[in-house]
Amino acid sequence: MLERLGRAVTARPWSALLFVVVFLVDALVVGAGVTDRLHNGGTSDPGSESARAAVLLEHSFPAGSPNLVLEISVFAAVRGRPAVPRLTSGDQLS
């Protein structure tokens, strides 16, 4: 199929170029009225967990959107080991 298209385009390059130009002009005319109906963003579901968390963060911390994400895993503590080792007075911090 692509071989036939390639042969047709190389056999009549000016006709193919004219077809592309007419197609682009038609697409511009048809799509010109759509720009006022398209919005940037707003594609998140308001009922989703992340949207509810964003609303909660906005109400709790009205300073702005956070620029730090902290992830805490308790997997090691579940298996019987402490997630954070205890420090004694003789331990050195590096």
User: What are the structural domain ranges in the chain?
Assistant: 2-32
CB burial readout 16-54, b (16+ within 10 A) else e: eeeeeeeeeeeeeeeeeeeeeeeeeeeeeeeeeeeeeee
What is the reported pTM?
A: 0.40
Q: What is the pLDDT of residues 21-80, one digit of tens each?
A: 999 999 999 888 887 787 777 677 888 998 898 888 888 877 766 677 777 766 555 666
Rounded CA-CA distance 81/69 in Å is 25
**When comparing pLDDT for 42 and 14, which is higher?**
14
Confidence at residue 45, expressed as pLDDT on a 0 to 100 scale: 84
